[in-house]
Amino acid sequence: MKSKLFVLLSLLVLASLVLAACAPAPAATEVPAAATEAATEAPVATEAAPSAELEGEVSIVSWAGYVEDGVAFPGFDWVTEFEANTGCQVKNKYAATSDEMVALMNEGGFDLVTASGDASNRLISGGRVQAIDLSRVPSYSTVDPRLQNAPWHTVDGVHYGVPYSSGQNILMYNTDVFGDTPPTSWSVVFEETTLPDGASNEGRVQAYDGPIYVADVALYLKATKPELGIDDPFALTRDQFNAALDLLRQQRKLIGRYWHDAFIQMDDFTNEGVAVSGSWAFQANVLKGGGAPIEKVVPVEGATGWADTTMLHVDSEHPNCAYAWMEWSLNPKLQGDLAAFFSNIPVVLSACEGNELLGPDGCKNNGIDNFDKIVWWRTPTSTCSDGSKDCVPYHEWATSYVGVIGGR
């Protein structure tokens, strides 16, 4: 089973690398400054309205691998049965970054988006998504209670989406480099040091190509420089934010590539000598499953993580099919298959048991035991943890991070 999964995912890696090489880079996206702060047999999709009212299609903006129809990978298909049961044909568009998702939802023409926490609050505050009627999503009660009222999709008690997936930004490292002394701290990607193989980490480190990465830096500074008084890595005062930028500028001297494409990062670890980087369990599991000398860890400082929410566009043209999809997305078979494919943590925890693709240890291997060590992404705003308005909002995170990458 593991070997079949790896073959399928390896093909995905190859296809994605080809596509990435041919595709133009996404345009820079301007984002708003303000934002408000989980059965082995798939059940029949629950219809959100009488069959005559279903509109016949639903369009979704998603992360790659989130909406699989079995065409490329026959073992992974949670679209075909939904379409057969509801008559709602699924149209899916992949987005490479959270900013691209926000831009697409701003343009309109889509019903749903699988938004991470650094995008969901922006979509709510910008009025691009609508409140969800949970009575039309009966399986919502099966969602992990820790996610049901999460602040990245719930504002003033109003729900603006349905949890879909979560995962962690782990530290991935090459065991040929680290041997019997695995890294235990994020310092290995922020500070120049000699690695266990006797060579410097300069040029052998990567960092995530996204403004939300500032929170990873802040989490490290929270542990290593308590005098800064950082409480919440997503709510930084000007002095705390500037300290994070200074560390990012220092880190830039070590960086071989800023990554946002998981498949390119895997190629870099395999062929370009990358030794260590922040990453996702997906990359680490695929590489290790294929025999690469790769391991992963959540360092002593903890880690950030992403929890993605299916959100409904304010001007959705197919709301009934959209509600049918949101209910379908919570069935344990789908959740388990998605976790097997993407190495994420199901939002419906019963999915961790009895799924053939996921296996008995799949959820553990994907990081389910680390939940309490994770600080989950959400959109930074000017509102600090104490209620003051002295914190740096997301649009400044975005412009400043671009400046750091550009050498400013």
- Residue 159 pairs in a beta bridge with 154
**Predicted pLDDT of residue 298:** 94
**Rounded Cα–Cα distance for residues 258 and 275 (Å):** 14
> What is the tens place of the pLDDT at every residue in 119-162?
999 999 999 999 999 999 999 999 999 999 999 999 999 999 99
Q: For the chain, give me the number of helices (H) and strands (E)?
A: 15, 12
CA pair distance 331, 237, nearest whole angstrom:
41
* pLDDT for residue 340: 95
Structure tokens at 292: 């690469």
The tens digit of pLDDT for each residue in 265-280 reads 999 999 999 999 999 9
Distance CA 40, CA 151 (A): 31
Direct distance between the N- and C-terminal alpha carbons of the chain, in angstroms, rounded to an integer: 48
Helix (H, G, I), strand (E, B), or coil: what is residue 360? Answer: coil
402 contacts 209 by C-beta, under 8 angstroms: no
CA atoms within 13 A on the CB side of 402: 9
pLDDT of 43 reads: 35
Q: C-alpha angle 342/364/117, rounded to 5°?
A: 50
pLDDT over threshold 50, residue 20? no
Q: Which of these ranges, 49-63, 243-257, 294-308, 323-337, has the smallest mean pLDDT?
A: 49-63
pLDDT of 64: 87
DSSP letter assigned to residue 1: -
Residue 72, pLDDT score: 82
Helices (H), 171-314: 175-178, 187-190, 214-224, 238-252, 262-271, 281-289
Crossing angle of helices 117-125 and 98-107, rounded to 10°:
30
DSSP string of 124-162, one letter each residue? HHTT-B----GGG-GGGGGS-HHHHT-TTTEETTEE--E
At 58 the pLDDT is 98
Beta bridge partners of 295: 173
Domains observed in the chain: 35-166+306-376 (3.40.190.10), 169-304+380-405 (3.40.190.10)
| Strand pairing report for 158-159 and 154-155 | antiparallel
Percent of all residues in the chain with a pLDDT value above 90, rounded to a whole number: 81
- pLDDT score recorded for residue 96: 86
Instruction: Indicate whether 3 pLDDT > 80.
Output: no
Secondary structure (H, E, C), 336-355: HHHHHHHCCECCCHHHHCCC
| Among the ranges given (26-30, 84-88, 309-313), the one the predictor scored with the smallest mean pLDDT | 26-30
In this predicted model, what pLDDT tens digit does every residue of 47-77 receive, in sequence order? Answer: 444 444 999 999 999 998 899 999 988 899 9
* 373 contacts 303 by C-beta, under 8 angstroms: yes
**How far, in whole angstroms, is CA 386 from its chain's centroid?**
27
Q: In residues, how long is the chain?
A: 408
